[in-house]
Structure 1
């Protein structure tokens, strides 16, 4: 059975799948989800250093290729891999990752050689997850969407016509470094008052630790305290919601998305987040068209599914390219 390898590399763990073709969409309909034929997880081995992480990725891909040969009758036709940090997708280079400790890793070429020369697509983890959410998840059918996962930091994926925009230099979507509180908290990027210093899950955790006096508290605890009516938690939560709404309105003014998809750990609070967030965005818009603000649908599988979509897209592009006669 024809299939591709999909790999989603995180800070400590990797999620992988062998993904079959999407199939044929009904006339006028959106394409169906890709079929997941096999799933696996493995540690990155980060504690052994950046070279060990790269080797873990290559070994995992080789094992997946071997599984496909044994159980599906043929090796994978291509692979897609999503990694964190700064990614040069055109050159196939994982340029920098603070979490994994690597710089300028030619991951596309290394992976291709390890899996028998099959083509490899390399993508940024948030943009790859956004591709899946936009095409087969919460943004399915939307021609323009913005995917914003709220985790340790905040980034976004800008979806246009079924594709995700990388930008001229690979930095498109870095909404977490939009300044929403000028002169505010310092950010590692060098600015003060960045969105992710106020509205990420990490920022909410820090603010709730300070407000509650509990050094073990986190954002999930803050959400529970909000639901129980704790006024301290409500203030921490509303401050984060207001900052997030300011950042989102800046983004929708520039990009005019039809759908805004909120994911990451903070989105797990459900209506505790979405009810005040929708109200805060609505209060801020003037001439802008109000988008749908919806929770992500794919959870922690988005990156892996997106990597599979990258691989199938790569095969489609290769098939559509005219042959060059020397």
Structure 2
């Protein structure tokens, strides 16, 4: 990640400053006392932490009636002040900075402009006619510059760009090691995009980026342990353990799509047989529906339509996919014991076709108390994945500022 000469710098002089800000961002508006309780800091430490944030306008403080709901910067319920003197609420000033986020698929770029609270100001889409890194980067830069033109009308500066890409992504180095849907290998995307767009850039795996957004602003807020499973072109899994998004030593933690659930199953592109993705990924389902029905099935939408029409063989393909996903989720629950598993992704258009099989396979394969894990369905459009990319840029900005490297 590269900084522009006049890039905004977040005043995170101590880890406590970033910790308090993140706490208020995810759960605020909060009283200082409640912010300290949630962050595990003393009142004196909170006072010291919020001082530069208030002075620089990243936090604002008001009376007990100030702060409001999400539209005013509060993303969670406000803490109730104790009896006696009313406690002022601290909230994030969402207008203080803007961020761009881009989600890259195999044929499209989806971009959003958000404020500091990750509320979407503008969303744009552009086709990706050429997946080669050079032309794709040029298309991405054009889309980002469109967002920057819109942002120029605001008083706030765009402080960072997040890019979410499927596959093996080294966030620390800003390099896409391997993206199967883009066919990229060892692309230094953060460096290239920083040069093309003139912004500090954070690059991350798309599922991990979406997990960051869910942890801070969505169904995972307030949970110390949860998993996000995405169903679509691939089967992905983002993991939060003890409050931290887990990438693993080599950046590939959570590859639920390559858990083998049927050793005699179909060949996966990874080289193994019977992976969850080889049974439940979009391409696998389309191929199986073609075989089962003997019809020309061009894409997943057509496969879903045949199953909904009751064409013999089509529903069975989805039932098998649901069983594979359920067993994969159970493996995650057995290993990590998350409080919640959130199921999302573009493949949820077919959720009614395999929902029962997912839950049945999960219940059967989950061991003991792991079966009590709260499984939630949360359909999210690709704009939310782009918002996840923006969330990673916000995360980098808060925790490292703009001069720390690649995030």
Using structure 2 for the length normalisation, give the TM-score: 0.69
Question: Who is 1:6 aligned against?
Answer: 101
Uncovered stretches (5+) of structure 1, i.e. residues with no partner: 23-33
Paired residue total? 308
Note the alpha carbon deviations across 1:29-56, whole angstroms, 9 max, x for none: xxxxx22122222223416x33111222
Matched, 1:65 2:121: no
Q: Secondary structure at the match of 1:14?
A: strand
Moved more, 308-317 or 283-292: 283-292
CA RMSD of aligned residues (A): 2.6
Query: Which stretch has the larger CA shift, 166-175 or 227-236?
Result: 227-236
Please state if 1:36 is matched with 2:36.
no
Distance 2:146 2:310 in 1: 51
The equivalent of 1:252 in structure 2 is 333
> Helix, strand or coil for the counterpart of 1:78?
strand
The answer on whether the counterparts of 1:53 and 1:100 sit within 8 Å (CA) in structure 2 is: no
Pairing 1:90–2:172 present? yes
Q: Is residue 346–residue 380 contact of structure 2 (8 Å, CA) maintained in 1?
A: no
1:201 to 267, 278, 282: 282
Whether the 8 Å CA contact 1:177–1:195 is kept in 2: the answer is yes
Provide, for residues 267-307 of structure 1, a one-character-per-residue CA deviation record: whole Å limited to 9, x for no partner.
22344332332122112223242212222243222211111
- Separation in 2 of the partners of 1:162 and 1:298? 22
- Of residues 110, 130, 135 in structure 2, which corresponds to 1:15? 110
Aligned-partner Cα distance in 2 for 1:114–1:224: 42
What 5-or-longer segments of structure 2 have no aligned partner? 1-94
**Mapped partners of 1:186, 1:193: distance in 2:** 6
Inter-partner Cα distance in structure 2 for 1:54 and 1:261: 32
Computing the radius of gyration from Cα coordinates, the structure with the larger value is 2
1:63 CA drift (Å): 3.5
1:130 deviation in Å? 2.5
Given that 2:190 and 2:202 are in contact with CA atoms closer than 8 Å, whether structure 1 keeps it comes out as yes
Given candidates 137, 144, 147, the residue that maps to 1:54 is: 137
Alignment partner for residue 308 of structure 1, among 376, 383, 390? 390
**Secondary structure of the residue that 1:11 maps to in structure 2?**
coil
Distance 1:148 1:249 in 2: 11
Of 167, 171, 189, the residue aligned with 2:270 is 189
**1:64 Cα shift?**
2.6
Distance 1:43 1:21, change over 3 A: same
Q: TM-score, normalised by structure 1?
A: 0.84
Cα distance in structure 1, aligned partners of 2:136 and 2:288: 33
3-state SS of the aligned residue for 1:139? coil
Q: Which region of structure 1 is more displaced relative to structure 2, 132-141 or 90-99?
A: 132-141
